[in-house]
Amino acid sequence: MSSVTTPPLALEGVITTQESPSSIVAFVERARYLDVVDALQGEGFEMVSDLCAVDQLTSRARALPEGVAGERFEVVVSLLSLSRHQRVRLRVQLPESDPHLPTLFDRYPGTEAMEREAFDLVGVIFDQHPDLTRILLPEDWEGHPLRKDFAVGRVPVQFKSAPGPR
């Protein structure tokens, strides 16, 4: 039951850091995103266990490995291999002006809801997603609340002006 400690071949040429013996963080460029995911899937990464997006607006100066240019949005995809007992976390940088990323739905159908959530809360657009609508918030909600520039507490409470019992 020991985990594989060697990095998958698919991550050759990708900037990686070792988080723990069974977990690797890889910084993938958007252009190579699908190729890397395809190669990882071919190497026995059966499952996308998590996908979320981070708005790095106020932490532009964050520590990143050399050669990685930090952008405003970051999509974080955790792939899991049951056979290798290994996790690979892909961090994809997306510029503020063009927060688009191809969907993983055709490769991993389980990312459908996760990508919708990332779109709903952070506003990353997943191209070719079958049903990119809001999932947690109402359809007519304005803005994406997990963005750092989303104003908190400005939504009027519906029953605010209702008369009290006395």
Q: Which residues bind another protein (CB under 8 A)?
A: 1, 3, 19, 22-23, 46-50, 52, 54-55, 58-59, 62-63, 76, 78, 82, 85, 87, 89, 105-114, 117, 121, 130-131, 133-140, 145-146, 152
Among residues 23 and 30, whose Cβ is nearest to another protein?
23
CA 166 to centroid of chain Cα atoms: 50
| Minimum distance of another protein from residue 165's CB (angstroms) | 26
Among residues 2 and 165, whose Cβ is nearest to another protein?
2
| Minimum distance of another protein from residue 82's CB (angstroms) | 5
Among residues 97 and 133, whose Cβ is nearest to another protein?
133
Closest CA to 105 of 94, 119, 115: 115
Cα separation, 22 vs 85, in Å, equals 7
Among residues 10 and 51, whose Cβ is nearest to another protein?
51
Closest CA to 55 of 75, 73, 70: 73
| Minimum distance of another protein from residue 31's CB (angstroms) | 22
| Minimum distance of another protein from residue 29's CB (angstroms) | 19
Residue 157's φ and ψ, nearest 5 degrees, are -80, 135
Which segments within the chain are labelled E, that is strand?
A: 15-20, 23-28, 47-55, 73-81, 86-94, 100-102, 125-127
| Minimum distance of another protein from residue 156's CB (angstroms) | 16
Q: Measured on CA atoms in the order 108, 110, 116, 119, is the torsion positive or negative?
A: negative
Among residues 59 and 166, whose Cβ is nearest to another protein?
59
